[in-house]
Structure 1
Amino acid sequence: AARAGFDLALHDLIGKDLGKPLYALLGLDPTATPVTSFTIGIADPETTLQKLAQVRDHPILKVKLGAGSASEQIETIAEIRRRYRGTVRIDANEGWDAESAIAILRELERYEIELCEQPIAAGSPEQLRAVSESVAIPIVADEDALTASDLPALRGCVAGVNVKLAKAGGIRGALAMIRTARAMGMRVMIGCMVESAIAATAAAHLSPLADWADIDGPFLIADDPFDGVRYAGGKLVLPDAPGLGVREAAPA
């Protein structure tokens, strides 16, 4: 995280020195940003549905699974689908073993799930391959894909990887991951941790390179002291100020 912070500060300084926003330094189209998902954290079915009522206007939801019985997790998604017609992604957060992952994901195929992140514990690429080959829902590696050097072991095992600046060591590391993933035929998600607008905005500048975005960190932080990336119907709107384009938030 410290390395990533230094990298972001350096790119911000270079952009300000040259009078260009980060996306322009990278030669990217600021209008080519994807729609981000909004995360519903791990909870019991009743709490999950209460949260759904608060965020159902978002066009893409990511639902955290991996806790509770298999039947409870399947029923949670079934209940969400009865109430929500947007895009649904799931993230098991390493919560299943391979056998359980296959069984649960096969049951969830009927609910039009766009993708599943990290269904099993990191460190077993061949088990990830077995899951991927046994289900129709695309599998995306997260904890298994920290830096570009992790990706060769995942080739053919997953449909895509989640690139996070905090994991990759910043902009340079994330770009290396994206290039490597593309060379290996993998799709790319740009994600973030529960982070302030600084890190989320930096990630958003790379989002034109991605197939999917999961940059909802600022939604999950109360009283964020910074403003940066904005959202228009879930689509990421990049700031056009030099560097990262982050500024101090106006007083509430």
Structure 2
Amino acid sequence: MTSSKLVTLAARIERFPIAGSFTISRGAKTEAVTVVAEVNRGGLTGRGECVPYPRYGETPEATLAAIQAMQEAVAGGLTRETLQAAMPSGAARNALDCALMDLEAKAAGLRAWNLLGRPAPEERTTAYTISLATPEAMAAATTKAAHRPLLKIKLGGDGDPERIAAVRKAAPEAELIVDANEAWTEADLEANLAACAASGVTLVEQPLPAGRDEALARIKRPLAVCADESVHDRSSLAPLRERYDAVNIKLDKTGGLTEALAMADAARALGFEIMIGCMVASSLSMAPAMLVTPQARFVDLDGPLLLARDRDHGLRYDGSLVYPPDVSLWG
């Protein structure tokens, strides 16, 4: 193998402070911890970023080790296609999958969407997240963001009808979507859904815990319900058809853009609406997800807006409009 064809892999943990704090039903955090993979070949570098998710037993250190363990495979010619079987879905595979795609596009001199034969992403309105807090605190935060056309409201169980009513009063014109992060129970499900419907909420995300969401198939849902923690990749779609109307596709769950695009195709074929979502992370995590936006009814790629600082060459945000990545960032 000549030096021009040597392929090397590097990975590292990076930290980005959050502006204030980010709170959901499972807790709060003040920084986004990401893991970046870089694949180098012939003077070109492909990059991908992931966010290890404790909900699935992932840690930054274990994710970093899992990526580093692929060095020999990468040097031996690992491709995105062979990667899908070489690593399980999850954050580590996501970073490496996106890095390989970035490198592949650079080597071909094409944008990633052209290389894949996918529609070119355009600017889209992204949701902006209001963290979980008291109704009064959430109303105050919402007032500051009431000019944004789409707000995503984090709920957490007891007191949620009061929270969503307070938010709606503070933002009478915004479209509202709600994310309960598995915090509701079968006992309060219908009352909470009714409260959301009364406030004109468009969609409720993951109201019940994954694996304990059968009640969604037994009730008349007054508004669309979206699976998040209950759905990961294509294999998890079919059993959810009676319980959910939409699915939240996140690259950290699917294990990369390759599976995310295939999952979006499969979800639409099954009649699901699509949300493309994210973890709190830098623009390097959001950039590959932009390729899913042409198929998405809801775009939730506000991670960089929640940071105190983004990385260099980050995505362009104009209010709630997010634009496709420049080649200096990814793809």
TM-score (norm 2): 0.68
Residue 136 of structure 2 contacts residue 166 of structure 2 at CA under 8 Å; is this kept in 1? no
The alpha carbon displacement at 1:33 in A equals: 4.7
Residue aligning to 2:153: 63
The alpha carbon displacement at 1:44 in A equals: 1.1
Deviations 1:193-217 (A, max 9, x none): 1111101111122211211111011
1: distance between equivalents of 2:283 and 2:323?
A: 13
Could you tell me which amino acid in structure 2 is paired with residue 39 of structure 1?
T
Residue aligning to 2:164: 77
Unpaired segments of 5 or more residues in structure 2? 1-90
Deviations 1:94-147 (A, max 9, x none): 0011231111111221211010000000013422323xx422110000000011
Q: Which moved more, 1:30-39 or 1:90-99?
A: 30-39
Equivalent of 2:202 in 85, 102, 114? 114
Residue 77 of structure 1 contacts residue 111 of structure 1 at CA under 8 Å; is this kept in 2? yes
The equivalences for 1:1-252 within 5 A come to 1-30=91-120, 32-67=122-157, 69=158, 72-84=159-171, 85-130=173-218, 133-241=219-327, 244-245=330-331
Distance 1:227 1:54, change over 3 A: farther
**Secondary structure at the residue paired with 1:167?**
helix
Could you tell me which amino acid in structure 2 is paired with residue 74 of structure 1?
P
RMSD: 1.8
Could you tell me which amino acid in structure 2 is paired with residue 51 of structure 1?
A
Distance 1:153 1:96, change over 3 A: same
Could you tell me which amino acid in structure 2 is paired with residue 107 of structure 1?
A
2: distance between equivalents of 1:27 and 1:136?
A: 38
The alpha carbon displacement at 1:243 in A equals: 7.7
1: distance between equivalents of 2:169 and 2:108?
A: 51
Residue 276 of structure 2 contacts residue 292 of structure 2 at CA under 8 Å; is this kept in 1? yes
Residue aligning to 1:248: none
Percent identity (aligned): 38
Residue 34 of structure 1 contacts residue 236 of structure 1 at CA under 8 Å; is this kept in 2? yes
2: distance between equivalents of 1:145 and 1:22?
A: 26
Residue 315 of structure 2 contacts residue 326 of structure 2 at CA under 8 Å; is this kept in 1? no
The structure with more helix, counted as a fraction of residues: 1
Unpaired segments of 5 or more residues in structure 1? 246-252
TM-score (norm 1): 0.88
Could you tell me which amino acid in structure 2 is paired with residue 186 of structure 1?
F
